[in-house]
Structure 1
């Protein structure tokens, strides 16, 4: 409720949570950045209930701040995924396709549930381990490109890739809270709500109206047609 006033509270809660957590997994730092930008996004949001489809109007300055905040989220999320893929390339285990074999059997990560035998078997097959490792790199690069894309279809593809990637990570490694934060952040980054796009629509309307106004006819110059005696 009241996104304009609860967004700063949300940001404060993420800061408090990250400073008190004993076993960080990286998701809390992403949540800090995203909620900070959400404060800018919700500056001009005057709705009392955030599920309303038709928000009340906001000033052009507030819409511009919200637009900048949304782009901040998009750039940040795209950077996280693209940088994550590029940082894995110099590592031999990722380039030769054995990374998932060692990740599934790591001492610090691993999901000890009914999926463990399936994950251990899949990562022990060389072809499947190679596809999982290289597929992770390709998914991260594709996800970053889709987030920055202006196409709604590509952004939906990116959201599906994000959910599939992090559900697989939860199944293999067990990073549940990290996966939930990343999926929610990508959902925000690929959204196209009216408060965020209202400024762009208004700019297009103003441009069309200005183009439709006919140019005034030139005024005749007095005495221009008279010759000298």
Structure 2
């Protein structure tokens, strides 16, 4: 296993600061920093530097831990939910797309240890690479701090997404509902504007959705997607309830 004093030469300047910043955003401080470094080591770096281990084994472990945490959570959180819906809810968050989004939100990309070729091809923003590294980080937290630490990390990152998914696909996808409503009633598509506030480790996003040049609804969340869904829900509720002055408050986001 690599030394705890190591930092990838391909990472941004001030590697130790990057690692500490990542810990802040994750809400977890590693006791064994070598495990964290290993979780961030892509096989492309290892192929250029023989003798070093990649994060693939930690990714394998993290995938299992992630699945167990989410399964346990939805099973306990939704006691009347049938097995089929439990499986759909879990699948909606335990997938590469969601994990890549979460990895981007916590700033995992700049902390990765990549080979020169992968670096040059934009590896720090590749969804598949980010998703794999996120699983590896979960596996590393499990080994470093135990199941409870890994569970806290997973739920801090995914609880809101799980609860949105548990409401049922389609039924509460307010962006789709608003788009269909706007096309029928106004013959136009909603336009979303996003702003954010707060430090990287505790950022909040605020969305305003506009129709006819006016703000139809507003919302906030821990991600752009959540904020847009909240704004769409607000607009959909105001329009369908017959409020004709939904744009009268002006734009605030």
**Alignment TM class, shorter chain as reference:** under 0.3
Determine which structure has the larger helix proportion and give its number.
1
Determine which structure has the larger strand proportion and give its number.
2
